[in-house]
Amino acid sequence: MNIFNQQPSLKPGDKCLWGGLPSSGRALAVVESALKYSGLTLIITDTAQQASTQSRALEFFAAQQNLSIFTFPDWETLPYDIFSPHQDIISARLQTLAKLPNANHGVLIVPLTTLMHRIAPIDFVASRTFCYSIGEQLDRGLLQDQLSRAGYKRVDTVYEHGEFAFRGSIIDVFPMGVKTPFRMDLLDDDIESLRLFDPESQRTLENVEQIELLPAREFPMDKESINLFLNNWHERFDHNPTKCPVYRDIKDGIAPQGIEYYLSLFFEQTATLFDYLPTNLQLFTSSGIEQAAEQFWSDINNRYQEYGVDPERPLLKPEEIFLPVDRLFHEIKKRPRTILDSQPIDPAAHLQDSGIVPVPDMSVNAKQTSPLQKLHDFLIAFEADKAGSRVLFCAESSGRREVLTDLLKTIQVHPTEVDSWLQFVDSDLQYGIITYPLEQGIACPNNGLCLITEGELFGQQVMQRRRRSKASESPDYIFKSLAELKIGAPVVHIEHGVGRYQGLVTLDVDKTAQEFLMLSYANDAKLYVPVSSLHLISRFGGGDQVAAPLNHLGSDKWDKAKQKAAKQVRDTAAELLDIYSRRAARQGFACSANEQDYLKFSGDFAFEETADQQAAIDAVRQDLLSAQPMDRLVCGDVGFGKTEVAMRAAFTAVSSGKQVVILVPTTLLAHQHLQNFRDRFANWPVNVEELSRFRSGKEQTAVIGDTEAGKVDILISTHKLLYAEINFKQLGLMIIDEEHRFGVRQKEKIKSLRSEVDILTMTATPIPRTLNMSMHSIRDLSIIATPPAKRLSVKTFVRKQESRVTREAILREILRGGQVYFLHNDVKSIQRVADELATLVPEARINIAHGQMRERNLEQVMSDFYHQRFNVLVCTTIIETGIDIPSANTILIGRADKFGLAQLHQLRGRVGRSHHQAYAYLMLPQDKKITSDATKRLEAISAADQLGSGFTLATNDLEIRGAGELLGEEQSGHIQAIGFTLYLEMLDSAVAAIRNGSEPDFDEALNQGLEVNMHMPALLPDDYLPDVNMRLTIYKRLADCQSESDLHELQVEMIDRFGLLPEVSKTLFKLAELRLVGEQLGLKKIEAGLTRGRLQFKSTTIVEPITIIKMVQSKPSTYRLQNNDQLSFTMDMENPEQRFSIVHNILQGLLPPT
């Protein structure tokens, strides 16, 4: 079906105009035209942002129509930038370049700025692409060479595009242009299997027959290309090349940041995107393309003039890297071109009008008795206009679809679900509904067709749901703390105290090779710990790593420190359990569960929940549904989704007729929560109000009155509430956000309210995972440690404050359509700084926010920033908590040396909330000296730029603070003395003992564990697993396995990731199996050699004495009892298999009958 009248056929060089087209209408027009056109269709958009929006709309209209949509994304860098594009962007671009030479039909969408870049010649990708199939012979050395030359980076574990890893017979690669990495398993020199694997869990997903490897960069780095680069450099520049870092790096085979702007030096001749396109090509552009091209060319030349004077980084002339405007339009004019415009066309002009119009305003008004009145009126008028009119509604997600369907029923509209636009157009349905994140609808009155999106009904578009695989959390994440041990890092050995890790060494003991951890102690004494005893080692968490107190081997100081801590732990455990039992004795209110409503509310969530987040949501809901009062702490790094946990909890409480109060530390956060909660509860009869200084005295009195009358369901308040005498009608739940930001008096006030209601506390203070075990029974704890899908980590730089860096950073962000925070924490001079910025970056639209502004003004500024009415916010730390603006992806922090580590981490968390690369600049004054502490803090935060790094921030002072917050400050000293992990293990043991009514026995709890020695080699050989850190991680995981199924799971994973286990590694697993049975029996030691063996029992063993006596009596020549705590046995055990079998059978015989 043709939606609008098709244009007359255009010849090369012809031009025509289609007017009156809204954004989605342009996409529909292009799709209909492309389906009829025999060649390729190219759309050139004015900006990268438009390309992204248009490509989504094109995918929507082209679904099920056999029309490929290709994208060629922008680098998201400035001309002559010193940054390189993100690997995911390069991957998408290379995928398109590889497909274009054979793409004779379809639609390619490109931003104008991208089209004006010169690119690699057309044979570059094809000549450097390799294919591999099962059964093919492979030269490993050649493959490694090919991968390196193609720009792939060798790593220990593959997580991102452009990485590869060699481990024995296993090769992992994440090729460009694909969504999933693959694993190659070799048998000798033949490819035995090819499998896709999940980069998060590192586990296999499915088998494939063949794989294709594109180059990892848009330029070559082989010897010939490097030589060509160096020769071209000498021809272009007369500066001394040895003083140019770019030249030196390339000579050494390193690709420095920003090398893309020297692309033409790698080739005899570069190409443009037009060279990749077929001759049979039709073009679509906007009416403003000429102006946009002139502006971009002007920006390029301005930057060339500004930065081309640096002798250490000379620049190529603009025409060597970019396509000049005249050349661009020379190429465009060769092709038939259609100009798409949103302005309606005067019929007298005899130009093409599309017959597609934007839909009128039909926004839902929740305050009216009939919220959908505008929509209802439109539908009646639309139908009256043309008989048989039909309407398709578009919802963001399946949850939103259900909500919209129910809402439409109130005006007697009953849509049927469809899978595509084509399916609806070809059907005879009057009303349809589809799930797709489309931003704008269209009406086609001539055809009686209309498309209405959720955004047009509910205003602000709900953010697109991002899918994440439901991968089980990678166990490596949990043991990362050990894997990241650097040589010299302090560790704690339960028996010997704090020493320093000096690496893994292989020693011959009893003529068998074994691997040991080497630890050094005071006076350079050495201790070798067998890898089978890794459960005795923990990371020393606490304070200053450099000043960690090393113990003397053989001295009693360590035992004294343990005893002191043990006394403290007993008291802490008793106190915590007292609080817990008092809370458990109270009867609270059990919320009722309306499962259908709850599922509908959950379905409205715009993102896919991460596994951690879902676990936290479920735990909170269970707490609320039980009669026992809730007191749960939810910890999650900045932006990891704690607010949604609070919203689900609030929904559960309100559905049960209870009121909810949310306490927040700042007015801004209160206001943001008000907006978010009102949006989230828009489809439910829930009244959300706010009590803060944004409200006048009169408004506050009214809110308090409504709250006491039970008319307010959810009240969001700053600490004002703590001092206001409010008598809630039915308070059921208190949610405290960022509790650590409240003062001492306010915390005391909160404590007095605790006994009355369910409490949910949320904090971004990183409290480490280990607390999960210890604290679970005292203060229920949920940790959200998984970043949302598609969130990239924040690139962090420490820079001297200078105009050039500031201008670069702001321009890079606003030219890709983003927004910038400029943090200046001094209200007196903030206006002056804003004025200076306006002069420095005239392209920016700038505004100011600080805590001393009038409430209404501050509210207006933040609202305008949220709605992108300006793009640079000069502000104080008022933005530190909670303000969530996904399009703000650059932050500049002035006088960064004045902030603490946690605060810097929190401020940096304001950016990086979308799938764009985010940047944080920590700015230092030009002329002032920085303290060494401040330098350490800045180094730590710039190093910890991984997502979730709040949990592992290098200095550990956050760990101490987090523990202090939960356990009380006086414990910090003991934690510093014996290390964080051990302290928590002791606390764990004490809590369990006191709960069971027994006295904590720390000697037993901290004993050496079970030692197993079978006098045979047991290790992970170097040639099987060369990476030392990975070996350490696996050893630790093996030592921590608690069941046979854990062992089996680990064994399967290792075979999957590293290949078949060598015999000496299989032995490790057999030893672990014996350890599990021995621990169950309460043994201290298991030893067996060629002819003799012995078992040593703990005093707490579960083995019945009569069982041992019977064994000795039945075979006195084989078994003997020694010293009342040892059973020795004599028999032929020369064969290793036989030795394991004999010991295993003996252990099984000692188990009590089940």
The model carries a pTM of 0.66
Instruction: Report how far residue 262's alpha carbon sits from residue 227's, in angstroms, rounded to the nearest whole number.
Output: 14
Residue 221 has pLDDT above 90, yes or no: no
CATH topology classification for 373-458? Rossmann fold (3.40.50)
Architecture of domain 130-213: 2-Layer Sandwich (3.30)
Which residue from 752, 750, 756, 749 is spatially nearest to 629, judged by alpha carbons?
Answer: 756
* Residue whose entry in the numeric block shows the structure tokens 């809630």: 728
Q: Which CATH superfamily is domain 1035-1150 in?
A: Transcription-repair-coupling factor, D7 domain (3.90.1150.50)
Rg (CA), the chain: 34
Q: Is the pLDDT of residue 50 over 90?
A: no
**Which residue type sits at 950?**
G
- pLDDT, tens only, 623-640: 898 887 888 888 776 667
Q: What is the pLDDT of residues 903-936, one digit of tens each?
A: 787 788 778 766 677 889 988 888 777 777 677 6
Q: Which CATH architecture has domain 794-946?
A: 3-Layer(aba) Sandwich (3.40)
Give tens-digit pLDDT for 847-877. Answer: 999 888 887 788 778 877 876 788 999 999 8
* pLDDT of residue 652 exceeding 50: yes
Q: What is the mean pLDDT of residues 790-813?
A: 81
731 exposure class (CB count in 10 Å sphere: 0-12, 13-18, 19+) = buried
Higher pLDDT: 754 or 17? It is: 17
Listing from the earlier edge strand, what are the strands of the sheet with 918-924?
Answer: 794-800, 918-924, 888-893, 819-823, 872-875, 846-849
Which residue is listed with tokens 């309210």? 753
Contacts of 735 by beta carbon, 8 Å cutoff, 6+ apart: 646, 649, 650, 660, 661, 662, 663, 760, 761, 762
Q: Report whether 674 contacts 621 (CB < 8 A).
A: no
Q: Name residue 564's amino acid.
A: K
15-19 and 352-353 strand pairing: parallel
Q: What is the distance between the alpha carbons of residues 247 and 312, in angstroms, rounded to a whole number?
A: 9
Q: What angle do CA 114, 116, 119 make, to 5 degrees?
A: 75
pLDDT-wise least confident of 513-527, 677-691, 850-864: 850-864
Six token digits for residue 651: 């929904």
> Element (H or E) spanning 1129, and its range?
strand 1126-1130
SS3 707: helix
For 778, the enclosing helix (H) or strand (E) is none
588-784 shares its CATH topology with 794-946: yes
Q: What is the pLDDT of residue 476?
A: 36
Q: What is the pLDDT of residue 768?
A: 45
Q: How far apart are CA 1050 and CA 1057, in angstroms?
A: 10
CATH no., domain 15-120+273-311+322-353: 3.40.50.11180
Tell me the C-alpha to C-alpha distance, in Å, between residue 11 and each of 7, 36, 37, 281: 12, 15, 12, 11
Burial of 45: CB neighbours in 10 Å, binned 0-12, 13-18, 19+: buried
Average pLDDT over residues 60-82: 91
C-alpha triplet 1033, 1037, 1040: angle, nearest 5°: 140
pLDDT of residue 767: 47
Q: Residue 198, class by beta-carbon neighbours within 10 Å (0-12 exposed, 13-18 middle, 19+ buried)?
A: middle
CA dist 591 and 604 (Å) reads 21
Higher pLDDT, 315 or 578: 315
- 3-state percent breakdown (helix, strand, coil) of the chain, nearest 5: 40, 20, 40
Distance CA(191)–CA(134), nearest Å, equals 5
Residues forming a β-bridge with 893: 823, 922
Question: Which has more confidence, 295 or 1056?
Answer: 295
Residues 461, 672: Cα–Cα separation, whole Å:
17
Flag whether pLDDT at 971 surpasses 70: no
Return the DSSP state at 881.
Answer: S
pLDDT tens digits for range 722-776: 666 788 888 889 998 876 566 656 656 665 655 568 889 887 654 444 344 445 4
Q: Which residue has the tokens 């001394």?
A: 240
Q: Is the pLDDT of residue 350 over 60?
A: no
- Residue 611 reports pLDDT greater than 80: no
CB-based contacts of 571: which residues, under 8 Å, 6+ apart? none
Domain 588-784 has CATH 3.40.50.1440: no
Other Cβ atoms within 10 Å of 851 Cβ, number:
14
Pairing of strands 794-800, 918-924: parallel
Mean per-residue pLDDT, 300-320: 90
Report the C-alpha gap between 706 and 728 in whole angstroms: 10
Average the pLDDT over each of 219-228, 295-304, 599-608, 660-669 and give the range with the smallest value.
599-608
> Other CB atoms closer than 10 Å to residue 1090's CB: what's the count?
11
Question: What tens digit of pLDDT does each residue of 465-502 get?
Answer: 333 333 333 333 333 445 556 788 888 888 888 899 88
Strand order in the sheet with 442-444: 416-417, 431-435, 390-395, 449-453, 442-444
Q: Where are the domains of the chain?
A: 15-120+273-311+322-353, 130-213, 373-458, 588-784, 794-946, 1035-1150
**Dihedral in degrees, nearest 10, Cα atoms 805, 811, 813, 818:** 150
**What three-state secondary structure class fits 90?**
helix
Q: Closest Cα partner for 658 from 752, 750, 584, 728?
A: 728
The secondary structure element, H or E, covering residue 503 is strand 497-509
CA-based torsion, 455, 460, 461, 465: positive or negative: negative
Query: Nearest 5 degrees, angle CA 153-CA 159-CA 163?
Result: 15
Do you know the residue count of the chain?
A: 1154
